[in-house]
Copies of this chain bind each other. A is one copy, B any other.
Amino acid sequence: MTEKGSGAPVARTVLQQCLQARLQVKPADEHSEAEFVQVNRGILIYVCFFKGATDEILPKMVSTLLNLRLCETDSGKLVSVLELPGSVLIVPQATLGGKAKGRGMQYHNNIGKEDGLRLYGTFVSLCEKELAAAAASGEAEVTVKHGTYGNRQVLKLDTNGPYTHLMEF
């Protein structure tokens, strides 16, 4: 599902519809309880960047993901998350870059942590901007929430059909 005609993808995303989703953004420690973010109706974007990914791909990637018709309205019509309008929960998911080697998984093609963190941060910012621009014209309460890069993604998902899609860029 690579968008480019040739060449290995530099980012992999998995997309799921949700009615509600809750994600841990800070685990409990001795001083404080765990912290969570939550979205209601909308989409989850699990995202992983590969070696060679640069900021240049991000605007097209965000625009594509937020404008693809991946959400169902109450009447069953397929619309984008911007059109729904719905919320977006972004989940950093380095495991998506895994390749099986024997019985184990290897992640040699994943981008380094520093670059990955930067790309992830910009990806989140761009999603926030696009959603805010779209939401400004409506009355619905929609939001972008996101997990903490590098953390364990403790997640509860409730969906009326995940409608799981793979998109590579």
Per the 8 Å Cβ criterion, residues 144-169 of A in contact with B are: 152-167
B162–A3 touching, CB < 8 Å: no
Q: What is the CA–CA distance of A105 and B68 in the complex, to the nearest angstrom?
A: 8
Q: What is the CA–CA distance of A1 and B69 in the complex, to the nearest angstrom?
A: 26
A69–B166 touching, CB < 8 Å: no
**A31 in contact (CB, < 8 A):** no
**A88 in contact (CB, < 8 A):** no
Least CB distance from A65 to B in Å reads 10
This chain: copies in complex? 2
**A78 in contact (CB, < 8 A):** yes
Interface size on A, residues (CB 8 A): 38
Q: Which of A96-104, A113-121, A123-131, A132-140 contacts B (4 or more CB under 8 A)?
A: A96-104
**A70 in contact (CB, < 8 A):** yes
Q: What is the CA–CA distance of A160 and B23 in the complex, to the nearest angstrom?
A: 10
A96–B154 touching, CB < 8 Å: no
Q: What is the CA–CA distance of A157 and B12 in the complex, to the nearest angstrom?
A: 22
Provide the residues of chain B in CB contact with A99, threshold 8 Å. 1
A155–B157 touching, CB < 8 Å: yes
A70–B152 touching, CB < 8 Å: no
Chain A residues with a Cβ under 8 A of chain B: 1, 3, 12, 14, 46, 64, 67-70, 78, 80, 91, 93, 95-96, 98-100, 103-105, 152-167
19 additional contacts (CB under 8 A) given A67-B103, A78-B104, A96-B166? A1-B98, A1-B99, A1-B100, A3-B100, A14-B164, A46-B164, A68-B104, A68-B105, A69-B104, A69-B105, A100-B167, A105-B165, A153-B159, A154-B159, A154-B160, A155-B159, A157-B157, A157-B158, A166-B166
